[in-house]
């Protein structure tokens, strides 16, 4: 479904070129679950951003089914992401001036859906994530685990095919981390999601069907991404 071919990424740092990703391949099928592991600074987040079309590579291609994504405009990609992809990060990135339900329905509003429909759907999703009693709380009135659950509800709002998560439990205590980890696998089953997660948590990583280890911008095992 999603196929990354020889992705490289370089950053200009003054006069120097920093070569971060050195030719990564990844083949994702529908319903796959993959985690990406590796030491800090190896390029995991950079690669995830490119897989999610949030950033463009220096070289390489990304295909969604037959479509060559980086040959498309930024506007096309923004709309594509809104419909097909969900993102959860280590930090929740909720908007502080909006309530849980308003944050959750944001992707629907961006997609141009009616407020009433959005609100109904957001309430249903938050209910599924055990947050029915926190619908009108603002982020500052939610616990860390609750905020992360709202961020997950928001990521699921447009029913993405692929959910990307970058250290989604990195900021949580062990009990909340465990709850969120269980939630990911429940959601994968219930929403038939394809799951790509970066994590430093070995126990979480062990639950994924595929573990890809990155070091210095390459997979440690040659050919691992296929």
Ligand X SMILES: Nc1ncnc2c1ncn2[C@@H]1O[C@H](COP(=O)(O)OP(=O)(O)OP(=O)(O)O)[C@@H](O)[C@H]1O
How, if at all, do strands 67-68 and 2-13 pair? Answer: unpaired
Q: Please, is 108 exposed, middle or buried when counting C-beta atoms within 10 Å of its C-beta (0-12, 13-18, 19+)? A: buried
Among 3, 45, 53, 103, binds Mg ion (CB under 5 A): 45
Contact between 46 and ligand X per CB under 6 A: yes
Quick one: what does residue 18 bind among Mg ion, ligand X, none, with the CB cut-off 5 to 8 Å set by partner type?
ligand X
Q: Please list every residue from 118 through 137 that binds ligand X, using CB under 6 A.
A: none
Q: Which does 13 bind (CB under 5 to 8 A by kind): Mg ion, ligand X, none?
A: ligand X
Shortest gap between Cβ of 196 and Mg ion (angstroms)? 13
C-alpha to C-alpha distance for 105 and 99, rounded to whole angstroms: 10
**Three-state secondary structure call for residue 219:** strand
Pick out residues in 61-90 that bind ligand X (CB under 6 A): none
Binding flag, residue 45, ligand X (CB under 6 A)? yes
Near ligand X by CB under 6 A: residue from 3, 42, 53, 179? 42
Give the interface segment with ligand X, choosing from 39-47, 69-77, 121-129, 188-196 (CB under 6 A). Answer: 39-47
Residue 46 binds which entry of ligand X, Mg ion, none, CB below 5-8 Å type-dependent:
ligand X
Nearest distance in Å: CB 46, ligand X: 3
Enumerate residues 9-38 that contact ligand X by CB under 6 A. Answer: 11, 13, 18, 20, 38
Report the alpha-carbon distance of residue 48 to residue 138 in Å, rounded.
29
Q: Is 190 exposed, middle or buried (0-12, 13-18, 19+ CB in 10 A)?
A: exposed
- For residue 63, give both structure tokens: 């295909």
For position 169 contacting Mg ion by CB under 5 A, the verdict is no
Number of neighbouring beta carbons within 10 Å of residue 136: 10
149 conformational bin, left if phi > 0, alpha if psi -120 to 50, beta if neither: alpha
How many Cβ atoms from other residues are within 10 Å of residue 66's Cβ? 6
- Given candidates 37, 43, 50, 218, which one binds ligand X under the rule CB under 6 A? 43
Contact between 46 and Mg ion by CB under 5 A: the answer reads: no
* Torsion from C-alpha of 198, 28, 106, 95, nearest 10 degrees: 10
Report in angstroms how near the CB of residue 39 gets to ligand X at its nearest: 7
- Residues lying near ligand X in the complex (CB under 6 A): 11, 13, 18, 20, 38, 40-46
């Amino acid at each position: 479904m999603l196929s990354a071919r020889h992705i490289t990424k370089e950053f200009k740092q003054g006069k120097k070129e920093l070569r971060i990703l050195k030719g990564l391949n990844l083949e994702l099928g529908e319903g796959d679950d993959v985690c990406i592991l590796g030491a800090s600074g190896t390029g995991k987040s950079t690669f995830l951003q490119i897989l999610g079309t949030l950033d463009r590579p220096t070289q390489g291609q990304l295909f969604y089914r037959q479509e060559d994504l980086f040959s498309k405009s930024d506007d096309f990609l923004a709309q594509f992401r809104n419909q097909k992809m969900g993102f959860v990060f280590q930090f929740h990135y909720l908007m502080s001036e909006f309530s849980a339900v308003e944050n959750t329905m944001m992707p629907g509003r961006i997609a141009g859906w009616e407020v009433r429909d959005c609100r109904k759907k957001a309430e249903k999703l938050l209910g599924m994530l055990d947050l029915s009693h926190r619908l009108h709380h603002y982020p500052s009135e939610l616990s860390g685990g609750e905020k992360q659950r709202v961020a997950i509800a928001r990521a699921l709002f447009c029913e993405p095919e692929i959910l990307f998560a970058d250290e989604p439990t990195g900021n949580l205590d062990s009990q909340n981390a465990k709850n969120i980890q269980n939630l990911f696998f429940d959601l994968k089953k219930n929403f038939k999601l394809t799951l790509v997660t970066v994590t430093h948590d070995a126990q979480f990583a062990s639950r994924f069907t595929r573990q890809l280890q990155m070091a210095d911008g390459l997979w440690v095992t040659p050919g691992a991404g296929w």
